[in-house]
Copies of this chain bind each other. A is one copy, B any other.
Amino acid sequence: MLVKMTLEEFGDVLGSDAPAPGGGSVAALSGALGAELVAMVCRLSIGRKDLEAHAQEIKTGLLEADGLATGLMRRVDLDTEAFNSVMAAFKLPKTTDAEKQKRAEAIQTGYKDAVQSPLSIARECVSVLNLSKSLLGKTNPNALSDLGVAAQQAYAGLEGAIMNVKINLPSIKDEQFNSSTSGEVSQLLKYGREAKDDVYNFVSEKL
């Protein structure tokens, strides 16, 4: 499992000539780091008298951040597995017509899975961005830059995940699937960018 590797080991296998792990797993990790930073900022805010008015929201935010961090960290491995299933489908036998048909279907299923994975990463990165935005002005001011970094990481995860959706769409022959996926991608980018810009502007003004 990738998440059981040390940072150094993960870096080495990432930089190697193995196609997986690649950008998808990195996008998931980036989102997870963002969520962990939001969790840290919440923990550094709990119990502060000056933030008492936001105590409940901080606690709820912490729960959500922890959940998103766990989910996105899991996707570091899931994304590489999804990619491996496409590779496995390509290696299926293709001698008889029945084999060719079965292989083609497995490839299509593989690609759809390979798209579903970064799509989920993108959705969860948007959740991290919205959560960061919702906490602006309600958390420990000493950790303001950490909230800013959290949003940058989640946004990089979002953009990276979407590139991994887009690179696979041309291989999928289901037009309806592609059209609804493209529509969701546009929405995710729109909302993610808005939240990232709001966090960036708030943090930049105060730094």
Inter-chain CA distance A46–B16, complex, in Å, is: 12
Inter-chain CA distance A200–B17, complex, in Å, is: 23
Give residues 159-173 of A contacting B (CB, 8 Å).
159-160, 163-164, 166-167
- Does A155 belong to the interface (CB within 8 Å)? yes
Give the contacting residue for A143; candidates B19, B33, B37, B142; CB below 8 A.
B19
- The answer to whether residues A40 and B15 also contact, given A26-B149, A152-B160 and a CB cut-off of 8 A, is yes
In the complex, chain B residues whose CB is within 8 Å of the CB of A156: 30, 149, 152-153, 155-156
Inter-chain CA distance A42–B143, complex, in Å, is: 37
- Does A65 belong to the interface (CB within 8 Å)? yes
In the complex, chain B residues whose CB is within 8 Å of the CB of A98: none
User: How many residues on the A side are at the interface (Cβ–Cβ under 8 A)?
Assistant: 58
- Does A69 belong to the interface (CB within 8 Å)? yes
Give residues 29-78 of A contacting B (CB, 8 Å).
29-30, 32-33, 35-37, 39-40, 43-44, 46, 65-66, 69, 73, 76
In the complex, chain B residues whose CB is within 8 Å of the CB of A6: 3-7
